Amino acid sequence: MGLLGDIIGKVKDKASIGKAALLSRNHTTAALRLTVLRATSHEADTPPQESHLAAILAAGEGPRTAAAVVIDVLMRRLHKTSSSAVAIKSLLALHVIVRRGNFILHDQLSVYPATGGRNYLKLSDFRDNSSPITWELSTWIRWYAKYLEQILSSSRIVGYFLFSTSCSLEREKGKEIIASLLCKDLLRDIDGLINVLEEICKSPDCVHLEGNKLLLEVMGLVGEDYFTTVDEIVIRVEEFKERLSCLSFVDSVELVCALKRLEDCKERLGSMFEVNGSGLVEDLWCLVSEMKDKVGEVKGFKEEKMVLSWGRFESARFGERVKPQDSVQFASNRFAFQFAYGELVR
């Protein structure tokens, strides 16, 4: 941004802090506003201090009104700023809340605004024209906002905040009930999780921003999200492995399409994150390849035929048009088996 930009940014920070202190009648509210302002300063290439982020997270330990103030101030600052530094720090603070915030902060974040939905963070048109670097950084900010929006959307699908350390109990409970889920619900979960990986793959390649401390901080969090997402997907694909013999034609088609989407992400993700040639990520790609082959063997048709059939038949979930066989299906092959009416007649 240059020396002049840094000076202007510091002046704006001091003015905002002074304004917050003067206008807030409530001492607690003033302190919370100042906490957010300090964590989202105009200083370029400087990530928020851990002490400032910890103070934001601490708001969730108090009354619900404190958490509401923090989320409201953070969102307002994000929506009003034209500074790339302030915008990316605000998004980073939201990401930290998603990962490390407690239930109260998550609750306030999930209902702001009440409508939610597409362009939830309202940054699809963000531009910082103050320099070539900030212009390039604006591309990252637009992507980062979309990525966080996708996390919130996928979290609603699976029923708990993805990547949150405070939701570990809910995550474990979710894993326990996976075997009892219907195939359509499992496919819905996998679709939401793949959406996260696909959004990661869309992260911009900005050569001039290499070494930027803010972006390194962001990608460190995104990398942790990636490995957690892989774990969530592996659990659900392994459940489908137990159900191969009782999958309907439509479920098989949807599953193979989902696995194909996963494979399409492999090269890009491999270039972004170091996996040291072993571990959970390799397990995922081996499982994906194995499942595609096994679905073809069990159902007696290949992927190409299934994809073509998908275009012809569409999904029974949306149109209720396809019924390859009349059958009674149970959630998991481990607990029940399938009686196919067509087989019994034969």
Per-residue pLDDT of 135-189, as tens digits, reads: 989 999 999 999 999 999 999 999 889 998 877 777 777 777 888 899 999 999 9
Distance CA 153, CA 145 (A): 12
Query: Position of tokens 């670097």?
Result: 133
pLDDT at 304: 53
- Residue of higher predicted confidence among 116 and 125: 125
Q: How far apart are CA 105 and CA 119, in angstroms?
A: 20
Q: Over 50: is that where the pLDDT of 38 sits? A: yes
Q: What is the pLDDT of residue 230?
A: 95
Cis status of the peptide bond prior to 48, with omega within 30 of 0: no
Q: What pLDDT was estimated at residue 301?
A: 53
Are 305 and 256 in contact by the 8 Å Cβ rule? The answer is no
Residue 56 has pLDDT above 70, yes or no: yes
296-312 pLDDT tens trace: 776 665 555 555 554 54
Residue 207 has pLDDT above 90, yes or no: no
pLDDT at 26 over 90: no
CA nearest to 87, candidates 148, 53, 146, 138: 138
Q: Which residue intervals of 159-212 are DSSP H helices?
A: 168-177, 183-201
Is the omega angle on the peptide bond into residue 113 within 30 degrees of 0, that is, cis? yes
Residue 213 CA to residue 47 CA, distance in Å, equals 7
pTM attached to this predicted model: 0.80
Structure tokens at 112: 């702001």
Model confidence pLDDT, tens digit, residues 9-21: 554 545 554 554 4
